């Protein structure tokens, strides 16, 4: 039996096609993935992300302790700052990719839905004897995202704070239509936007208020299908695809989030070795010459031999409908401009290695 978010009935009323994802029933699409994608790139989209794991961390030891479990720096975060971070295993493979939010009275850690149970056990197993209290809010708190160039204009009339004053990857404690919420300028689409952390009780009211007020301005409810295309175009990794227990952050191109200057953290030695050796297979951007989409698992060839495989693939509406993909490739095949063959149903199709991200919004 799959769990339901507080917004389940809203999704059904809106015609959302519900699919199991990360232990929840979630909308994969409402009207059409391409239409929803277009709304986010040009106007704004509304997402229910309440399936994601939310953990509350409090106590004076949180930052120091979290710094021993994660690759990026927690202790240097400013009040109300958000920071992308990864938890690794001893071999450097990725347990999960997450975001830490440093709030007024506690920390909020957002983890992938599919990893929430694993991550909760990981935190509990590594909790120090004192100085860190953990509270599992997975399923108990909601998360609504509004993403797209019109998100400031659409959200501003509903909140009691100046949204323009919130910097990217910062947040503020405010109210949305009178309801207390953490309002964060974060997202997973490659567009400007906000994520609203609020109670399950309030979520349906806020969801309806935003949609009813702004649907005629182009705000669309968006499902996981559009979200996946948006994040792939924006070059953002998806756990299970570009990151796994055997794919390290370094391989995924996230060395910027691996702070080897920290005295110690789980996986540090393995990751340092990998960085210095520089001979690892790595995630690269791939653009297909033709119209056949590349899909996860397809074998990639170079110079007559297999050099890796596709990890994610989709048509990219923001790149003139070209077929784009990420692939885990041997170093020699992963340099920009390398010509590849992607094997699709027994036939080889030409492709080229390109830099990530595929899409970058105009600032």
Partner 1 sequence: MAQPDGLLYSKEHEWVKLDGEDATIGVTDYAQESLGDIVYVELPKVGTEIEQFFNVGVIESVKAVSDLFTPMSGKVVEINETLDGDPAAVNREPYGAGWLFKLKLSDLDEAKSLLNAADYEKHTQG
Please give the residue ranges that form the binding site for partner 1 (CB under 8 A): 28-29, 32-34, 225, 229, 291-293, 295, 314-315, 321, 345
CB of 44 to partner 1, least distance (A): 20
Residue 174 or 225: the one with the smaller Cβ distance to partner 1 is 225
Residue 295 or 361: the one with the smaller Cβ distance to partner 1 is 295
Look at residues 252, 326, 254, 340 and name the one whose alpha carbon lies nearest to residue 296: 326
Residue 226 or 353: the one with the smaller Cβ distance to partner 1 is 226
Angstrom distance (rounded) from CA 117 to CA 98: 14
CB of 228 to partner 1, least distance (A): 8
Cβ count within 10 A of residue 67: 20
Cis previous bond, 279, omega within 30: no
CA angle 30, 32, 34 (to 5 degrees): 135
Angstrom distance (rounded) from CA 294 to CA 37: 19
CB of 296 to partner 1, least distance (A): 10
Q: Is 332 helix (H, G, I), strand (E, B) or coil?
A: helix
Pairing type for strands 107-111 and 133-136 reads: unpaired
Positive or negative, the CA dihedral 145, 283, 34, 25 is negative
DSSP label at residue 84: E
CB of 17 to partner 1, least distance (A): 8
Residue 316 or 340: the one with the smaller Cβ distance to partner 1 is 316
CB of 109 to partner 1, least distance (A): 29
CB of 208 to partner 1, least distance (A): 25
Q: Count of alpha carbons within 13 Å of 148, Cβ hemisphere only?
A: 27
Look at residues 107, 119, 131 and name the one whose alpha carbon lies nearest to residue 266: 119
Residue 88 or 232: the one with the smaller Cβ distance to partner 1 is 232
Phi, psi of 275 (to 5 degrees): -60, -45
Residue 109 or 288: the one with the smaller Cβ distance to partner 1 is 288
Residue 215 or 291: the one with the smaller Cβ distance to partner 1 is 291
344 bridge partner residues: 347
Angstrom distance (rounded) from CA 122 to CA 111: 12
Look at residues 196, 214, 176, 291 and name the one whose alpha carbon lies nearest to residue 39: 214
CB of 321 to partner 1, least distance (A): 8
Residue 15 or 355: the one with the smaller Cβ distance to partner 1 is 15
**Which residue blocks in 132-202 are alpha helix, DSSP H?**
151-155
CB of 349 to partner 1, least distance (A): 11
């Amino acid at each position: 039996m799959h769990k339901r978010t507080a917004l389940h009935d809203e999704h059904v009323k809106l015609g959302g096609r519900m699919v199991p994802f990360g232990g929840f029933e979630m909308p994969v699409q409402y009207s059409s993935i391409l239409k929803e994608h277009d709304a986010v790139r040009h106007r704004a989209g509304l997402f229910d992300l309440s399936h994601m794991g939310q953990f509350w961390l409090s106590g004076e030891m949180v930052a120091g302790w979290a710094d021993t479990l994660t690759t990026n720096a927690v202790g240097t975060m400013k009040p109300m700052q958000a920071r992308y971070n990864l938890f690794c295993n001893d071999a450097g493979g990725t347990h999960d990719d997450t975001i830490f939010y440093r709030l007024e009275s506690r920390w909020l850690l957002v983890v992938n839905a599919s990893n929430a149970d694993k991550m909760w056990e990981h935190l509990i197993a590594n909790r120090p004897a004192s100085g860190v209290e953990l509270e599992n809010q997975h399923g108990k708190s909601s998360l609504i995202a509004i993403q797209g160039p019109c998100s400031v204009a659409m959200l501003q009339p509903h909140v009691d704070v100046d949204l323009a004053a919130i910097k990217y990857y910062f947040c503020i404690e405010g109210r949305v239509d009178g309801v207390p919420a953490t309002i964060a300028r974060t997202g997973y689409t490659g567009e400007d936007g906000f994520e609203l952390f609020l109670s399950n009780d309030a979520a349906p009211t806020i969801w309806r208020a935003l949609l009813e007020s702004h649907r005629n301005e182009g705000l669309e409810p968006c499902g996981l299908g559009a979200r996946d295309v948006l994040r792939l175009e924006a070059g953002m990794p998806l756990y299970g695809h570009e990151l796994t227990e055997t794919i390290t952050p370094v391989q995924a191109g996230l060395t910027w989030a691996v702070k080897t200057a920290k005295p110690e953290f789980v996986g540090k030695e393995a990751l340092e070795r990998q960085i210095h050796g520089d001979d690892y297979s790595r995630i690269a951007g791939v653009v297909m010459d033709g119209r056949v989409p590349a899909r996860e698992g397809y074998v990639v060839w170079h110079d007559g031999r297999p050099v890796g495989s596709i990890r994610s693939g989709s048509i990219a509406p923001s790149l003139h409908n070209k077929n784009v993909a990420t692939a885990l490739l041997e170093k020699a095949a992963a340099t920009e401009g390398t010509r590849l063959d992607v094997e699709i149903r027994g036939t080889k199709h030409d492709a080229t290695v390109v830099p990530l991200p595929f899409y970058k919004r105009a600032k």
